[in-house]
Amino acid sequence: MRRRSLLLAAAMTIPLVAGCTTSTQDNAERTVVLVTHDSFSVEQSVLDKFKADTGIKVDVRKSGDAGALTTQLVLTKAAPIGDAAFGVDTTFASRALTEGVFAEYKPADADKGPQKYAVDNSGRLTAVDVGDVCVNADLGALAGRELATPATFEDLADPRYKDLLVVEDPATSSPGLAFLMATVAHYGTKDWANYWKRLKDNGVKVVSGWEEAYTQEFSGSSGKGPRPLVVSYASSPSAEIGDDGKPRTSALLDTCFRQVEYAGVLNGAKNPDDARKVVDFLISETFQKLVPEAMYVYPVRDGVELPKAWQQASPRPEAPSTLPADDIQANRERWIEQWRTAVRA
């Protein structure tokens, strides 16, 4: 997810530490190497408190976006680069499982919410957060053009919204790939490519990643770009509250695709016992309460209340699109090639 860097700028991140895996050793500090993506963000004090409570130091090592993270875990599975991993998402989970990257482990609290997002019954991946990908609209910019806020996929292809939408390339961007999946889920395998041809004819702009789309091309964020419609997250409007306390942007909840991020213990980990405790921590109430404002995603644990700004501007989508993980694994590369043909040709 790779994508929320501007929204996370105010949050304290944990620096990448280079080198090989460090684990429990005689007369040495107990350490769990947690391999994750670039948008993992939590205050150091939280990890310090975890260490004080458990004696376990969490060594966070970042590895690009969800796709890059998954690829690295697959390529190094014979000699794992960590003890646990967090950030493999819906679009890559099946690949990680097929490749045998993760060991079986089901946390005691998995039945307190995470089980609703399970990829399969193996217990190898535990859901930690949900980040629904949706089109976002700049309400003021659309009103200034005397346009109603669009609501559906069909609206985005309407000539009234010509040259107003910017999306991310699904070959290089996690939210871009999720939005592609949303169109596959909505239109079906026979018609989704034709929909993209219609978007192309309607002037959709494609950029490489979320940051360029949201912070440079989108008019509703810091870059004040030219386009009032952008593929981002259902949570993004919570970061765009105006001085009057009202949301300046909104998510089009009928365009959302559910993107879940998972954690698990790596097969062959040098410190699997403590790695399990880190996975337990990621779905604990303590950590789950931090998830919205630290990483701009929704918690998976039942009963965790969203911040007030989120309740106002970023309610959870009630019926986001989804696709079976096995379907994504079997078709992801083919769908990307079909997308290229439809949009780039």
Find the CATH number of the domain harbouring 321: 3.40.190.10
Nearest alpha carbon to residue 130 among 318, 332, 330: 318
Q: Say yes or no: 278 and 332 in one domain.
A: no
Residues 194, 338 within the same domain: yes
- Find, among 245, 194, 196, 247, the residue nearest to 220 by Cα: 247
pLDDT at residue 27, as a whole number: 44
Check residue 295 and give its pLDDT.
87
Structure tokens at 233: 């997250």
Q: What is the pLDDT of residues 115-142, one digit of tens each?
A: 999 998 889 999 999 999 999 999 999 9
Asked if 287 and 129 count as a contact pair (C-beta separation under 8 A), the reply is no
Q: Are residues 191 and 122 in the same domain?
A: no
- Are 116 and 253 in contact by the 8 Å Cβ rule? The answer is no
Q: Residue 248 CA to chain centroid, in angstroms?
A: 22
**Pair (251, 168) in one structural domain:** yes
Q: What whole-number distance in Å separates Cα of residue 65 and Cα of residue 209?
A: 11
The per-residue pLDDT for 28 is 65
How far, CA to CA in Å, does 164 sit from each of 169, 199, 214, 230? 16, 10, 13, 8
Q: Are residues 226 and 339 in the same domain?
A: yes
In a domain, 236, yes or no: yes
- 293 Cβ contact partners less than 8 Å away, ≥ 6 residues apart: 11, 307
Sign of the dihedral defined by the CA atoms of residues 284, 289, 295, 301, in that order: positive
The token duo for 12 is 């304290």
Q: Give the residue ranges of the chain where pLDDT is below 70.
A: 1-28
Q: How many domains does the chain have?
A: 2
Q: Give the rounded distance of the alpha carbon of 291 from its chain centre.
A: 12
Gap between the Cα atoms of 128 and 97, Å rounded: 17
Helix (H, G, I), strand (E, B) or coil at 200: helix
Element (H, E) at 134: strand 133-138
User: What ranges make up the beta strands (E) of 15-125?
Assistant: 30-36, 56-62, 84-89
- Residue 16 in any domain: the answer is no
Taking the complete model, does pTM exceed 0.85, yes or no? no
> Do 68 and 207 fall into the same domain?
no
53 and 89 fall within a common domain: yes
Regarding whether 119 and 76 lie in a shared domain, the answer is yes
- 247-266: buried (b, 16+ CB within 10 Å) or exposed (e) per residue? bbbbbbbbbbbbbbbbbbbb
> Are 157 and 61 found together in one domain?
no
Q: Is 327 contained in some domain?
A: yes
Q: Are residues 332 and 300 in the same domain?
A: no
pLDDT tens per residue across span 31-72: 999 999 888 888 999 999 999 999 999 999 998 778 889 999
**Beta-ladder partners of 134:** 232
Give the domain extent around 296.
30-130+259-313
User: Are residues 73 and 197 part of one domain?
Assistant: no
Residue with tokens 């940051």: 211
Please report whether residue 23 resides in a domain: no
Residue 91's pLDDT is 86
Q: Are residues 57 and 141 in the same domain?
A: no
**pLDDT for residue 234:** 94
